[in-house]
Amino acid sequence: MKLRRFDTSKIKVRSSDGKSRIPGGPGGIGIGTLVLAAIAYFVFGADPMQTITAIEGSQQTASGQAQQDNLSEEQVCNQGPYAVEACNALQSLNETWQPEFARVGMRFEQPVLDLFRGGQVSTQGCGSATSAAGPFYCPADMGIYIDTGFYDQLAQMTGEAGDFARLYVIAHEYGHHIQNLTGLAEQVRSAQQQNPASANELQVRMELQADCYAGVWAGKNRSLIEPGDLQEGMRAASAIGDDTLQRSAGQRINPEGFTHGSSAQRMAALNAGLESADDAVCDRYFA
Ligand SMILES: [Zn+2]
């Protein structure tokens, strides 16, 4: 997509430094850990777009604050091409979604993008997570957490390094932010607690709605879409469907174990948002 260059006065970004976060632990996360993380990813089918809702008991530092690199927002966004692209996307997402909230008189708040490094991050509101969990959204601190190393994994999984696959990832996590602001995430959490048997299905619906919101963002910015973008997005949606992940992990396809939806469901959700460019279409997952 031909996104405009970011302006740090219009976005919230930071970079947590995972390496200094483990008291008494190893001084860093090496290649071996990353390889293990990749293996764990395929073996367990851990999803790259997990919303962390279950991680409790935060392992914060003594100050009660996640440690952060002393990088300015400008420096965080200029760490490399992936960071620039993510900051560009974040601003576009803010500019696309803020007016939608204004239109219905709902309070809007920007999420903060944390481009963390070092394989592990200690969030302010959701405890610790490793890169193996993939990009995630933490409702408690409104943070979108992405280890930019994930983008290399994504390129391997989808067999290409197209920008739209990466943009789809951040737009999907932004979709979870929307669910947080609208109160849907909270409703789903309490429904899951009341009826644990439905927890998995509700989780899938939430993930598909986040895919749909990602599509709405792209649909509302159709003029910026370049040839090949949509195919990249569809290939990414297909590559990270639960059935495809299960198959590549050598497992039998087990819909009960789906947490994000099948490849076909994810592609359909992204496409529904894209074609309509209307977020009301994404209500269908909870209608
Ligand atoms: Zn998700």
pLDDT of residue 124: 82
From the CA of 24, how far away is ligand 1's center (Å)? Answer: 32
Total residue length of the chain: 287
Q: How would you write the pLDDT of the chain (287 residues) with one tens digit per residue?
A: 999 999 999 999 999 865 443 333 333 444 334 433 443 343 333 443 443 333 322 333 333 344 566 789 999 999 999 999 999 999 999 999 999 999 999 999 999 999 987 778 888 888 888 777 678 899 999 999 998 888 877 787 777 657 888 899 899 999 999 999 999 999 999 999 999 999 989 999 999 999 999 999 999 999 998 888 888 888 888 877 778 777 777 777 777 777 888 889 999 999 999 999 999 999 999 98
**Residue 60 parent element (H or E):** none
Q: Report domain extents, the chain.
A: 8-286
pLDDT of residue 263: 87
Distance (Å, whole) CA 281 – CA 284: 6
From the CA of 185, how far away is ligand 1's center (Å)? Answer: 11
Return the amino acid letter for 26. P
Distance (Å, whole) CA 287 – CA 272: 15
pLDDT of residue 160: 66
Distance (Å, whole) CA 110 – CA 167: 17
pLDDT of residue 67: 54
From the CA of 51, how far away is ligand 1's center (Å)? Answer: 5
From the CA of 115, how far away is ligand 1's center (Å)? Answer: 17
From the CA of 135, how far away is ligand 1's center (Å)? Answer: 8
The pTM of this model reads 0.81
From the CA of 13, how far away is ligand 1's center (Å)? Answer: 20
Token pair of 139 as six digits: 């409702």
Is the separation of the CB atoms in 273 and 196 below 8 Å?
A: no
From the CA of 133, how far away is ligand 1's center (Å)? Answer: 11
Q: Please state at what angle helix 199-220 crosses helix 81-103, rounded to 10 degrees.
A: 100
Is the separation of the CB atoms in 182 and 279 below 8 Å?
A: no
From the CA of 45, how far away is ligand 1's center (Å)? Answer: 14
